[in-house]
Structure formats: C-alpha cells, structure tokens
C-alpha cells in the first residue's frame, strides 16, 4: 500500500527557477538547467517518511518540444492535483521576474491571459492559495521589480484576497539568496496553518 505523505509543491513556467529554489530550501537535489524544460516529469523527493517535496516540470510552451510533450506535462500536473489536493499544505508558484517585465505589456494589450495567471487560478480551484514567488530579481532593476509585483498582483486579483493571504507575493533571487529567509518563513507558516508543523524544520537555507 502507498505510504501517506504530505507534499510541498513547486510549480511555474519553464525555467522560472523551481528546481533552484527547491535546492536552496530543502535537502532535495533536483536537476537545474540553463534551458527551459530541464525537469521532464513530476519528481518527488522524500524529505522524511511522511514529507515530500515535489518538483513539477514547467507548465507552458517550450520552443524545441512538441505540443504532445506540453500536453503530457499538463495532464500529469492535473492528475497530481486531482489525486493529492488534500495533501498539499503549501504550493509555491514560481514566476520569472524578467519574463514578466518583458511580456506583461505586450500580453495585456493583446488581451491574452498569461500562463502564470492560468496556473494561479488552476491551483486556487483546488482551494489552495499559492505562495507567489517572483524570482530572478537580480536580473532586473528595482523599479522593474516594483512593476512586476504590481502586474502580478493585478493578475491574481490580490486586493480581493483575504488579509492573511496578502503577504503571499514575494520577490526573491535564488541565485543571490535575496529574501529566501522570507520565503522559508512563509512556507513554514503554511505548514503550521495546515497542522503539519513537524516538517517546518526541514525547510531551511542551504
Ligand atoms: N539570474 C538568476 N538566474 C536564476 C535564478 N534562479 C534560477 N536561475 C537560473 O535559471 C535557470 C533555470 O533554473 P531551474 O531551477 O532549472 O528552473 P526550473 O523552473 O526548474 O526549470 P524547468 O525545470 O525547465 O521548468 C538556471 O540556469 C538557473 O541557474 C535567479 O534567481 N537569478
Ligand atoms: Mg526544473
């Protein structure tokens, strides 16, 4: 029989830095790659017998992969959430700050729903409020960081979130370690709020 375990889940577009953040905050050592699509399937890493960290492949277009590949990834992710939605005390949505600044204006003018918004709503449908992490802030200027935050807040209808969830948009750099302590504390808080505080000590800066 399958062991019961809780899952700490990292999702986001290809190349956003999910695997990098996992390796900075947990004992798991996922593959990190320069090119989008490094993580090719849902990988779970056992932290303890009852606590696993889940590295999800990037959701969205990858230029040298087929549509069939993309669809398979999406199916895998949907299946995972359908099956384990009640076992996810914290889900981290990782967003690439640089890509937001580059595409936000173009996309909003065209009226296209950005993938990050689609992902956010997908997770929220399972009654899980994601921790939104805008990563790679080392690649953009401070005013651009502020712009990215405002853009994301609009996308996720931030002002209508309950107060306890309004802290859940943070900016970090996995590469330089900026604000990773804030992210660690936020994940720990989500674990506590879901009555699995015994796992808090496994989330720490490496
Ligand atoms: N400059 C900068 N680069 C980063 C940061 N975080 C991750 N990277 C780089 O971004 C690239 C992708 O990182 P990954 O952690 O593999 O990203 P991922 O989201 O797991 O990507 P997929 O598995 O392909 O979906 C790597 O070259 C990382 O070194 C950051 O904060 N700043
Ligand atoms: Mg990855």
Q: What is the pLDDT of residues 128-185, one digit of tens each?
A: 999 999 999 999 999 999 999 999 999 899 999 998 888 899 999 999 999 999 999 9
Q: Is residue 1 part of a domain?
A: no
Q: How many domains does the chain have?
A: 1
Please work out whether the CB of residue 83 comes within 6 Å of at least one atom of ligand 1: no
- Residues of the domain holding 190: 6-202
Give this prediction's pTM.
0.95
Alpha-carbon distance of 28 to 48, in angstroms, equals 11
Alpha-carbon distance of 78 to 80, in angstroms, equals 5
Q: Is residue 178 part of a domain?
A: yes
Q: Is residue 176 part of a domain?
A: yes
Domain CATH code at residue 62 = 3.40.50.300
Please work out whether the CB of residue 33 comes within 6 Å of at least one atom of ligand 1: yes
Pocket test for ligand 1, best of 11, 12, 16, 20 (most atoms within 8 A of CB): 20
CA of 32 to the centre of ligand 1 (A): 7
Q: What is the pLDDT of residues 27-75, one digit of tens each?
A: 999 999 999 989 999 999 999 999 999 999 999 888 889 999 999 999 9
Q: Is residue 146 part of a domain?
A: yes
Name the pLDDT band for 99 (thresholds 50, 70, 90).
confident
Q: Which residue has the higher pLDDT, 63 or 1?
A: 63
What does the angle CA 116 – CA 118 – CA 122 come to, to the nearest 5 degrees? 115
């Amino acid at each position: 029989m399958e062991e019961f375990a809780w899952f700490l889940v990292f999702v986001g577009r290809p190349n956003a830095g999910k695997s990098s953040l996992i390796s900075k905050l947990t004992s798991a050592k996922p593959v990190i790659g320069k090119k989008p699509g490094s993580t090719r399937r849902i990988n779970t890493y056992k932290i303890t017998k009852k606590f696993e960290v889940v590295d999800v492949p990037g959701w969205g277009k990858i230029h040298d992969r087929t549509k069939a590949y993309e669809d398979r990834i999406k199916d895998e992710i949907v299946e995972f959430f359908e099956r384990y939605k009640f076992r996810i005390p914290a889900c981290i949505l990782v967003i690439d700050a640089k890509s937001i600044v580059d595409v936000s204006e173009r996309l909003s003018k065209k009226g296209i729903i950005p993938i990050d918004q689609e992902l956010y709503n997908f997770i929220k449908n399972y009654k899980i409020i994601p921790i939104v992490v805008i990563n790679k802030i080392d690649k953009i200027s401070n005013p651009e960081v502020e712009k990215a935050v405002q853009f994301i807040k609009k996308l996720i209808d931030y002002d209508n979130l309950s107060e306890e969830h309004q802290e859940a948009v943070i900016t970090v750099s996995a590469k330089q370690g900026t604000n990773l302590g804030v992210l660690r504390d936020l994940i720990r808080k989500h674990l506590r709020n879901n009555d699995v505080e015994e796992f808090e000590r496994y989330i720490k800066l490496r």
